[in-house]
């Protein structure tokens, strides 16, 4: 995409906020509100930067546009190490952050959980702001649709099914590997195996597990919960040095950004890569893999299940409505992107960005000036 496009759509606002009394320091980047209030999570880490948050906010701009949701893109960060905080200290910081953002929340920014922020923190945020519309990912008792329902992983499974069929392959019997067995990877594995696909390799921060005969996903979930690593899965296990080289039909990334480097391009043996994690590789690396004949479903296409779920919560919808909408939108948008890329003889990310750009520019009066 042309640099001019990146320059004109935003960011619209970058706010830094402080509260010395409770030790709160944070910021929000509202990238673009042409389609609606900026939507994006709150990330709490000791190293979070405005530049990092801007990149994520821009991804949210495209993700919401491609999902055809009435949201713009935004993201926020709180500079803190939650491991060094008591629950009371963390609560005070989140509350102070929420109150400081009242000037833009929820009119221009709607928050959500991200790193080290979950449904309890969203309850604190909403109550401090005084509006349930201030954030999504709230507890069920507040009308929330928490991420524990697996909306992102569910969407990944649907995107994977579309990609397999686009390549002329059947879902039943297809082999897949997952990088990262957290919330996203766990649910992607669960829903894909329910469709008849076979998980044969999986990795986490402790190592990589490979069982070519197939992994029992329910047993793996249990082992991961009890021992905190997939490598403790019982039986005759062949460990894999790198999941990047797994010989599978589909490789799903679900954890680490910049996971696949340009130097890894020759190692990839999967026919399809579905990006469940954000920015798992550079655009240049994607193009190189595309030129090798590997089909890639970009992150903001494949992992939009979470933000679609957020929208359903935002309008007061049910769990049932959420799963229906995630399925419909992910399938429709994934197929649209893949068909457009094929028609225009380009790679999927380029096609997806152009679709998102057109939707934003159509509504963005500031961008047109």
Cα 306 to Cα 108, 322, 329, distances in angstroms: 20, 10, 12
Nearest to 178 by CA among 203, 148, 155: 203
Strands 207-210 and 198-204: antiparallel
Structural contact between residues 147 and 141, judged by C-beta atoms closer than 8 angstroms: no
Any residues with CB less than 8 A from the CB of 240 and at least 6 apart, and which?
201, 203, 208, 209, 210, 246
**Positions marked catalytic:** 75
CA 231 to chain centre: 25
3-state helix/strand/coil string of the chain: CCHHHHHHCCCCEEEEEEECCCCEEEEEEEEECCCCCEECCEEEECCCCHHHHHHHHHHHHHHHHHCCCCCEEEEEEEECCHHHCCHHHHHHHHHHHHHHCCCCCCCCEEECECCCCCHHHHHHHHHHHCCHHHECCCCHHHCCCCHHHCHHHHHHHHHHHHHHHHCCCCCCCCEEEEECCCHHHHHHHHHHHHCCCEEEEEEECCEEEECCCCCCHHHHHHHHHHHCCHHHCCCCCEECCCHHHCCCCEEEECCCCCCCCHHHHHHCCCCEEEECCCCCCCHHHHHHHHHCCCEEECHHHHCCHHHHHHHHHHCCCCHHHHHHHHHHHHHHHHHHHHHHHHHHCCCHHHHHHHHHHHHHHHHCHHHHC
């Amino acid at each position: 995409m042309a640099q001019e496009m990146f320059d004109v759509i935003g960011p619209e606002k970058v706010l830094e906020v402080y509260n010395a009394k409770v030790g709160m320091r944070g910021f929000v980047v509202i990238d673009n509100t042409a389609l609606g209030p900026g939507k994006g999570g709150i990330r709490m880490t000791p190293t979070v930067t405005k530049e990092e948050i801007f990149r994520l906010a821009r991804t949210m701009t495209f993700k919401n546009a491609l999902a055809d949701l009435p949201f713009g893109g935004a993201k926020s960060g709180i500079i803190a190490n939650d491991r060094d905080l008591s629950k009371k200290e963390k609560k005070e910081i989140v509350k102070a952050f929420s109150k400081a953002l009242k000037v833009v929340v929820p009119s221009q920014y709607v928050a959500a959980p991200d790193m080290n922020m979950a449904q309890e923190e969203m309850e604190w945020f909403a109550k401090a702001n005084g509006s349930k519309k201030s954030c999504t990912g709230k507890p069920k008792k507040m009308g929330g649709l928490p991420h524990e329902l697996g909306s992102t992983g569910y969407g990944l499974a649907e995107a994977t099914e579309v990609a397999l069929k686009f390549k002329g392959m059947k879902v039943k019997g297809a082999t897949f590997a997952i990088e990262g067995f957290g919330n996203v990877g766990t649910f992607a594995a669960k829903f894909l195996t329910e469709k008849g696909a076979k998980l044969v390799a999986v990795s986490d921060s402790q190592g990589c597990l490979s069982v070519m005969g197939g992994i029992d996903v329910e047993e793996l979930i249990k082992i991961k919960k009890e021992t905190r690593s997939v490598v403790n899965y019982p039986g005759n296990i062949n460990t894999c040095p790198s999941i990047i080289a797994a010989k599978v039909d589909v490789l799903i990334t679900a954890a680490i950004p910049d996971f696949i480097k340009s130097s890894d391009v020759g190692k990839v043996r999967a026919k399809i890569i579905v990006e469940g994690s954000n920015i798992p590789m550079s655009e240049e690396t994607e193009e190189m893999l595309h030129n090798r004949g590997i089909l890639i479903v970009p992150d903001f296409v494949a992992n939009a299940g979470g933000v679609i779920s957020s929208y359903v919560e935002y309008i007061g919808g049910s769990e049932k409505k959420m799963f229906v909408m995630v399925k419909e939108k992910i399938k429709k948008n994934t197929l649209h992107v893949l068909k457009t890329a094929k028609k225009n003889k380009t790679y999927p990310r380029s096609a997806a960005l152009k679709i998102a750009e057109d939707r934003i520019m159509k509504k963005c009066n500031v961008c047109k000036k």
